[in-house]
Chains A and B, each alone.
Chain A
């Protein structure tokens, strides 16, 4: 009996090949989107959960309070962990990690690459992070100085498939021995690297350690037996503060407290300064919702197809009844068909997902490593089965029950109509589909516009063609002037300057006393500040709008020269900014140590990401300083510029390898998350367009199908083709206009919500809305015309026969 049923179901499907196929593909797309987003969410929600015993690893985060302003940092002082461990014996272990976020050139034999993801860690790192070691011993691999543990990725680049352990790689001034091989960090790791160096020999004496407790320079991880101990440590910490940090804190009115975050909660935790790129859970929920919507859109086509086929099969159902089938039998048949179709879709969906993940740059674009094989098979099968069976049951429900109610005889005689209700429901569903698709398209356009805006906005400086080289020791710093002198001879280097901070990487924030407009009175405020050397404004192509830029003579003057930005002038209400006085820095007695005078005003510039508004900022002059050396190169000759800079560098600073990063890339990284989201939305847009195209096509051919005879009669009576196309379009016109009208506010709300994360955003261009609405209506008209034309063009005899 079952075999007979299966045979009937198969035949019914084959009879309607193209339409069946289109809908299988449509549903398969919907299912693939859901599967991919499921993989994505599974990966995101599993952040760092792959690290064994992740629930016992806690990151120490710092909370500095200065003049009642709280600044939270993801990192902490490298002196903190050893002292903490000495003080509290319930801390099982600690390890520290430092990410070198610049390009370092590594060489091995004839292979050489710039590495941008290198870290330095304590020698017990792999005993705290017990991730699988493929080669080498986790206890000893980082014990020796100049040891290097590499990922497969890194090993592949230098050594191909051979065992890297024991091999050597070198930078321009050190040679490292590879002592271990680990798997690549999964993309859902908050702290990851391509290779890690052994380091941190704590040579500081106690006083130096105490002084450095107020700094933020490494990430500290503690191993604690349980979350109770974590709470206990946070509660105990004020004792530590009193003992080691209070005297210094009191000297400048500061306070410090730690917070602990469990490893797997870091990524979606609080947003902290100096953190790795974090995630936002609300976006994950949004993605889940979107995938559900895409599935519903695809499901709607499926439901509609089932209903349309049901309507065509009234006669068949009646006949079966007369021949002895009961209601249950007919329902069975419809459900079975629906299951067959949706499982065909599911199969195709798996193939599609595999193709997308393995053959397209999808993973690269999203910086993920999604794969069907990474995931628990039972869970995947469960989700897939659940999705598929709900779609097939839902879609078969209406036709199954209404067909089983068809009265036998009257159906055969003809004239029995399967409810007008199903036609109306169908229209509403397709309208919903269309509405969502239009909204998604507009939203994607809006997001695209914003990402474009973000990468093209005038930031108040020119972010292109700037190389950043970090200057971490005073010896290098002292050599910079000489290097600058040499670089001035290169035709490919336009300008250079050193600044302590880099736009987008966070500025210094400290307390300043600012003169008021009236004069004489000083007011204390926490202000963003940058220490820059001569030529900074020129190098960055920042504009001095009032007064003047720094001069060489400013280095010598008693009162320091400072520049402020326009925002500062505005906020202070300075009518006459030039000559206003500023004091900062506190000595032991709380007196200001430095006095400055405003010599110029620079045009506002975005020193932070565009998520944040522009804040009052002070620039002061400091030559020969640590920080980041900025070099503006000729964009036409980047390669040559790099060669000549590296040559100069090697000659004048041979102990330190030349390491650099690009300013524009640094800034682009600030919007990685949004970039990713807009990419995902773009993919979904294609999907939504395709699916609603299917839906409209289905509805149009269904509607014209129902009216074929009518079209024939009208034609015989003299209607021309255009009149008939309009006839069908009129029927769907209200539907289309209504769904577009609903889509507009929906899209508006979506874009607004997304843009609220930016302090600077592209204006919402109403043209995008008008244009999308128009294109959508036009496309709908074309689809409908196509289908009605097909019927209207037929010879009238053919259509008249149709019944």
Chain B
């Protein structure tokens, strides 16, 4: 599904050039659950953003579903993103002035789904994240764990094939964190590909494969064997 070959990313500011990613090569197959770990500032978020087509890169090759990303026009990459990818952020990124229900509904609106169908799907998601009783609440009325659930709900409502999660448990306590991990695992088992950045070994243990980054380099890869 995803192939990166010798991919590099350089941030240029007035004074310094930061080589955030150096010659990264990585393959992710459909149905995998990959964790990315590494110290702060090693380029994890940068990598995730590039995979999610949110950011561009300087050198190398990125092939998504046999399409070369660099060649794509803005509109095409927007379309790929809309149809295939869901995002979960460390800081949730919910819209404050929309309710839980409306936040989850948003991607469906942008996909042009009919309102009756939207209602069905949002209700189903609300049940899945067991926040049906909170659908009319605004984000600031929820706990951090609940907000992240909403964010996951929003990420999966459009039934994406790939979910990119950047430290989804980073702002949560361990109990809330494991709840979120259970949800992600369940999603993966039903066929969704997941790439997740995390600082927690225990979170990484949920995944099928671990990728380690260090200072922009990919240093090691190992597979977990699930029993």
Contact = CB atoms under 8 A, between A and B. Distances in A.
Contacts, number: 40
B54 A713 contact: no
A718 B82 contact: yes
B49 A797 contact: yes
A718 B81 contact: yes
A719 B78 CA distance: 9
Contacts of B95: 710, 713-714
Interface in B37-69: 49, 52, 54-56
B56 A717 contact: no
A592 B121 CA distance: 103
A716 B111 contact: no
A718 B107 CA distance: 6
B106 A795 contact: no
Interface string B17-48: 00000000000000000000000000000000
Nearest to A793: B74
B52 to A, nearest CB: 8
A717 B78 contact: no
A718 B56 contact: no
A795 B55 contact: yes
A555 to B, nearest CB: 89
A720 interface: yes
Contact of B78 (A709, A713, A718): A718
A723 interface: yes
B110 A717 contact: yes
A796 interface: yes
B54 A723 contact: no
Contacts of A797: 49, 54-55
Nearest to B111: A718
A717 B106 contact: yes
Contact of B93 (A713, A718, A719, A795): A713
Interface string A759-803: 000000000000000000000000000000000000111001000
A710 B102 CA distance: 14
B101 interface: no
Interface string A467-488: 0000000000000000000000
B118 interface: no
A795 B54 contact: yes
Nearest to B52: A716
A723 B107 CA distance: 13
A669 B39 CA distance: 84
B93 A800 contact: yes
B160 to A, nearest CB: 10
Interface residues of A, number: 14
Contact of B54 (A710, A714, A719, A796): A796
A717 B154 contact: yes
A714 B106 contact: yes
B208 to A, nearest CB: 26
Interface residues of B, number: 19
Main secondary structure of the interface of A (DSSP, over half): helix
Nearest to B48: A797
A104 B39 CA distance: 96
Interface in A694-753: 709-710, 713-714, 716-720, 723
A716 B110 contact: no
Contacts of A795: 54-56
A625 to B, nearest CB: 85
Nearest to B106: A717
B110 A718 contact: yes
A713 B56 CA distance: 17
Nearest to A712: B93
B93 A723 contact: no
B111 to A, nearest CB: 6
B64 to A, nearest CB: 16
A578 B55 CA distance: 92
Nearest to A717: B107
B106 to A, nearest CB: 5
A522 to B, nearest CB: 86
Contacts of A713: 93-95
Nearest to A719: B110
Output the residue of A714, A723, A796 with the most chain B CB within 10 A. A796
Nearest to B89: A800
Contacts of A718: 78, 81-82, 107, 110-111, 158
B110 A720 contact: yes
Nearest to B87: A716
Contacts of A717: 87, 106-107, 110, 154
A716 B154 contact: no
A599 to B, nearest CB: 83
Contacts of A716: 52, 54, 81, 87, 93
A717 to B, nearest CB: 5
A445 B94 CA distance: 49
B84 to A, nearest CB: 11
A719 B112 CA distance: 10
A716 to B, nearest CB: 5
A720 B78 contact: yes
Nearest to A799: B54
Interface string B156-187: 00100000000000000000000000000000
Contacts of A709: 93
Contacts of A796: 54-55
Contacts of B94: 713
A230 B155 CA distance: 93
A713 B81 CA distance: 13
Interface in A609-665: none
A543 B56 CA distance: 80
B121 to A, nearest CB: 14
A709 B95 CA distance: 9
A713 B89 CA distance: 10
A711 to B, nearest CB: 10
Nearest to B97: A710
Interface in B76-127: 78, 81-82, 87, 89, 93-95, 106-107, 110-111
Contacts of B56: 795
A801 to B, nearest CB: 10
Contacts of B54: 716, 795-797, 800
Output the residue of A709, A710, A717 with the most chain B CB within 10 A. A717
A795 B54 CA distance: 6
A797 B93 CA distance: 12
A709 B89 CA distance: 13
A194 B110 CA distance: 76
B45 to A, nearest CB: 9
A803 to B, nearest CB: 9
Nearest to B154: A717
8 contacts: A714-B95, A714-B106, A716-B52, A716-B87, A795-B54, A795-B55, A795-B56, A797-B54
Report, nearest first, the 8 A-B pairs whose CB atoms are least far apart.
A718-B110, A718-B82, A797-B55, A796-B54, A717-B107, A797-B54, A713-B93, A797-B49
Interface of A: 709-710, 713-714, 716-720, 723, 795-797, 800
Given A720-B78, A797-B49, 15 more contacts: A713-B95, A714-B110, A716-B52, A717-B106, A717-B107, A717-B110, A717-B154, A718-B78, A718-B110, A723-B110, A795-B55, A796-B54, A797-B54, A800-B54, A800-B93
